[in-house]
Homo-oligomer: A and B are copies of this chain.
Amino acid sequence: MVLKDARPFGPATGLSCRECGTVYELGPIFACSECFGPLEVAYDFGEVRRQDIESGPTNIWRYRALLPVPADVASKPNLQPGWTKLVKADNLAAELGLRSLHVKDDSGNPTHSFKDRVVSIAVEAARTFGFHTLSCSSTGNLAGAVGAAAARAGLDSCVFIPANLEEAKITMAAVYGGRLVGIDGTYDEVNRFCSELIGDELGEKWGFVNVNLRPYYAEGSKTLAYEIAEQLGWRLPDQIVIPIASGSQLTKIDKGFRELIKLGLVEDKPYRVFGAQAEGCSPVSAAFKAGQDVVRPVKPDTIAKSLAIGNPADGPYVLDIARRTGGAVEDVDDREIVEAIRLLARTEGVFAETAGGVTVGVLHKLVRNGVLDPEAETVVLNTGDGLKTLDAVAAEARPTAVIRPSLEAFRTAFAN
């Protein structure tokens, strides 16, 4: 494959196997042919200076020198995600008894979830590899992110979903005008079908963002680490609470922090990484608590559908990181998730999707159990938007009163 640009992947030098270290040329591959381990992007960064980053655009491309993208990426048509708010959450901190708390609120992304970060990197890889169609299997956030990103980039898209998905999610996935294919089957069957398609001539020239483009795609989550550090004033937090679906995001945030230390962009200091799962899909939390290295797959049953991956590929790496940094992995039940969504909305005006309910709920639980240090600087992630999971809170977020339009009626209701 001939690459048009001299350095279409910027500082990236190759793909290396996370298990055996074998190095490959940059290409649309995702598994080691020696040991079947996952591949990830390796870099030669050279010097990267704070002022170069600070003078960049207010989106993830300010970190282009740390990502597998070309130097002119910011001028190409893409969704320009990132640089979302790091909300100083004094009200929530007071309620939980924490000294310093920030919420990294990724609902501010173009399609209102962190998926815009990872998909935008995948789009650049797709362009470079000459793929004409962007694809994925999805049950929600990813479908919208892929549809929107492909539309802006001028690529075709073909998104696969379980046919019995909620109507609202189908609308969101279809509105960007790409192909949307409902599959009569479970999400697992959709995934298996996609794997077949990649091996078939039908899927030639297709970039499946979370399969054959996964090594590039996954790097997008590093930008969460970069932004948090820069927005704290080029400082790492002491403690961070991150949701776990496949576990990829957590491992990449850790990778991002370590890169910043290595490059001298932040002071080298310890930080503790905490993983958050829903009780109804908590294989990593279960393994952590049992002191095991192996993650035993489960059948998900939780309202936090965007985290409902029963067999998380990066689970073992998450366990390593939580143990190495002195963190933990914890879970909360659906009841606690709903309460946490409402707590965050009531204290900070941030309406999170269920995944944000999981992280805030786990934060709360870790404080209650004395696992988190209430004096340490803490960051909690909200990776999606409450508008996409309205059903979770619909039964409880109700009018306080319904009255006739008269002062007397209001006075009566008001007196209660």
Number of copies: 2
Contact B176 A402 (CB under 8 A): no
Closest chain B CB from A231 CB (angstroms): 10
Contact B385 A176 (CB under 8 A): no
Contact A185 B405 (CB under 8 A): yes
List B contacts of A171 (CB < 8 A): 390, 393-394, 397
Please tell me if A163 contacts chain B, counting CB pairs below 8 Å. yes
List B contacts of A223 (CB < 8 A): none
Partner of A405, one of B176, B184, B200: B184
Known: A202-B414, A349-B147. A399 touches B161 (CB 8 A): yes
Contact A110 B185 (CB under 8 A): no
Please tell me if A152 contacts chain B, counting CB pairs below 8 Å. yes
List B contacts of A394 (CB < 8 A): 167, 171
Mask, A301-344, CB within 8 Å of B = 1, is 00000000000000000000000000000000000000001100
List B contacts of A393 (CB < 8 A): 171, 175
Known: A351-B148, A401-B182. A168 touches B390 (CB 8 A): yes
Closest chain B CB from A339 CB (angstroms): 12
A83 to B184, CA, bound (A): 43
A148 to B147, CA, bound (A): 29
Contact B348 A181 (CB under 8 A): no
Count of chain A residues with a beta carbon within 8 Å of a chain B beta carbon: 78
Known: A167-B394, A342-B175. A184 touches B403 (CB 8 A): yes
Please tell me if A142 contacts chain B, counting CB pairs below 8 Å. no
List B contacts of A390 (CB < 8 A): 168, 171-172
Contact A85 B80 (CB under 8 A): yes
Please tell me if A263 contacts chain B, counting CB pairs below 8 Å. no
List B contacts of A77 (CB < 8 A): 88, 90-91
A-B contact pairs, 21 of them (CB 8 A): A58-B58, A58-B83, A91-B154, A151-B347, A161-B399, A163-B402, A167-B394, A171-B393, A172-B397, A174-B397, A175-B342, A177-B345, A180-B398, A180-B399, A182-B401, A184-B404, A184-B405, A189-B405, A190-B405, A193-B410, A197-B407
Shortest 3 CB-CB contacts between residues of A and residues of B:
A177-B346, A148-B349, A174-B397
Q: List 20 extra interface pairs beyond A170-B398, A182-B401, CB under 8 A.
A: A58-B83, A77-B90, A91-B151, A108-B110, A144-B351, A148-B345, A148-B350, A151-B347, A163-B402, A168-B390, A174-B398, A175-B341, A175-B351, A177-B345, A180-B400, A181-B400, A181-B403, A181-B413, A184-B402, A184-B404
